[in-house]
A and B are shown apart, each in its own frame.
Chain A
Amino acid sequence: MPQCSKCGKKGLFLKIEEVTSLCLSCNEQFAQEGKVFTEKITSAKNKVSIAKDPREIAKFCQLVENYGNELLELHQTYNLSPSQELIDLIASYKKMRVSAERELTTGA
């Protein structure tokens, strides 16, 4: 019998989203919450690409990491596996932030 992996609702005619294994209601809720983080991530990421000052770069990279981690937590709340794209993005921006911070401290 189909069952939602988040709320546990089950029923013979319950519609479950194939990709997420969530019922339509939980799926919609995840999408709405995920949209907020995705928007914040892309906005911070795009700010990194135009930033020149290492202080600004570090600040926006930190934002990408923070919002990325919040989106990861959201995935966990809904028992979903995060995409590799998200995991790689957080790792890349962590590296970039560390490099910018190093530049700030060494003045290189």
Chain B
Amino acid sequence: MDEKKKLKDLIIPLSEYPHIPYWGTLREAIVQLNVAYESSHHAVLVFDEAYKLVGMLFQKDILQGLEPKFAQHYEDGVPIFWDSLLKTGSEKQLGRQVKEFMSKAKFTIGVNDSILKASHIMLQEDTHLLPVMDGDRLIGVLRMSDLFHEITKIVLDL
């Protein structure tokens, strides 16, 4: 039987993800995400001028950024076709800075914490990616998809 992985075995180095400065545009972030799509990375890491991680931009953040403002008022869906507005309305949105849409890197997990704790934080904070700290040192990120794989493996083994 495979030995169960620990949290530290699931850490992905920051350098594997696409990076963007917080003043980068949504358009630039989309280009980076499309490049990274094949490597199953669905987020762009956002850095400040001192190259410190300040946030993460997920596909949902980008879609939120592209959604026409009026759509927020319709809980049951947008009554007119959105695709007709993509070319006109989104052009302006694409030039907006990612800092307006990114999820701030507020929550972290310790390298020696358990996989279940990481899963709990992700669920509580509604995030798919969690920065991993070794003391004060940021050593990488943890993906929900990897956690899912490990947790379900344990459950099925029972």
Contacts and interface: CB of A to CB of B under 8 A. Distances in A.
Interface of A: 30-35, 37-39, 41-42, 45-46, 49-50, 68, 71, 75, 80, 82-86, 88-89, 92-93
Interface string B26-52: 000000100110000000000111111
Contacts of B18: 46, 49
Contacts of A86: 50-52
A39 B50 contact: no
B20 interface: yes
B73 interface: no
A54 B37 CA distance: 22
Contacts of B49: 30-35, 38
Contacts of A35: 21, 23, 49
A66 to B, nearest CB: 14
B151 interface: no
Contacts of B21: 35, 38-39, 42
Contact of B47 (A38, A46, A88, A93): A38
B138 interface: yes
Interface residues on B, range: 20 to 34
Main secondary structure of the interface of B (DSSP, over half): mixed
B19 A45 contact: yes
A83 B15 contact: no
Contacts of B138: 83-85
Interface of B: 13-15, 18-21, 23-24, 32, 35-36, 47-53, 136-139
A41 B51 contact: yes
A3 B50 CA distance: 21
B15 A46 contact: no
Contact of B52 (A39, A42, A85, A93): A85
A49 B35 contact: yes
A33 B18 CA distance: 22
Residue of A30, A31, A33, A42 most packed against chain B (CB within 10 A): A42
Nearest to B134: A84
A89 to B, nearest CB: 6
12 contacts: A32-B49, A34-B48, A34-B49, A39-B21, A45-B19, A46-B18, A71-B50, A83-B51, A83-B138, A86-B52, A88-B139, A89-B14
